[in-house]
Amino acid sequence: MKGGIFCTLILKLALIYAVLAGKEPCGLTTQCLESITVSRELRKEGFHRELVTSVQCVSGFPDTLHTLLIEQMPREIYMDPYQLASEEQETGLQVLLDSDIDLEAPAYVSSGFSALVYPLQGLSCSRCFQATVPIHCRYQRPSGSGDRGELIHIQSPKLLLRAPSCQLPLDFPPQIVTDAPCSALNHSMCSWLEIHYKQVPHSVSLAINFAL
């Protein structure tokens, strides 16, 4: 038993030393970890949009890497589970919702929700992960102040990485190890590395009109 604990400790120290030395555990360099950026944009107009998120690093990601975006969506926004299922069949993009979604409810009787988005590698860029997720605006309560619209802000997502074929660096600040579902199809928990990243732009928002 003591020998096993000693070997585990040596492995952890070796992984941390590899990161500090700029080597490549799981094919990830410190340069890549420190240069990761997340860019966001909204496409289309009106109540039905596409939230496009791209994850990049300067040296590119290894082929064995998986990424996960944890989105916290406001009550003014919803995702259609049936549309997401269709998107998965067509593109392979997986999205796991944390609760049932009422597609007809207006914003003022709805709650925010979490969505686990598993981006795909190399769709429109050879060295990035990207996810295009359809989102929809809920109807708003008419404003008594005369305002005819509202600006809805979408929070920045958490970014998690994992590599099934090897072990990611352990608890190397500011990165931390956390558990999350392995995929939208496999709800078993896997260990992921939560990454602190640079976002460009810092946030995204959309304007919606109140119901008349």
Statement: residue 8 has pLDDT above 60: no
Residue type at 60 in one-letter notation: G
pLDDT tens digit string along 101-140? 999 999 989 999 999 999 998 766 767 899 999 999 998 8
Render pLDDT for 146-188 as a digit per residue (tens, 0 to 9): 566 788 999 999 999 988 766 665 555 667 888 999 999 988 9
Please name the residues in contact with 90: beta carbons below 8 A apart, sequence gap of 6 or more: none
Residue 76 reports pLDDT greater than 60: yes
pTM of the model: 0.82
DSSP symbol at 13: H
What does the pLDDT read at residue 1?
Answer: 45
Instruction: Reply yes or no on whether the pLDDT at 12 is more than 50.
Output: no
Query: What digits encode the pLDDT tens for the residues 13-72?
Result: 334 444 434 444 566 777 777 889 999 999 998 899 999 999 998 888 888 889 999 999
**What pLDDT does 40 receive?**
93
Q: Give the per-residue pLDDT at 34.
A: 81
* Residue of 199 and 8 predicted with greater confidence: 199
**Residue 204: C-alpha distances to residues 45, 140, 187 (Å):** 14, 19, 29
| Dist. CA 138–CA 104, nearest whole Å | 8
For 109-137, b where at least 16 C-beta lie within 10 A, e where not — what string?
A: ebeebebbbbbbbebeeeebbbbbbbbbb
Q: Provide the pLDDT for residue 155.
A: 92
pLDDT the model gives residue 22: 41
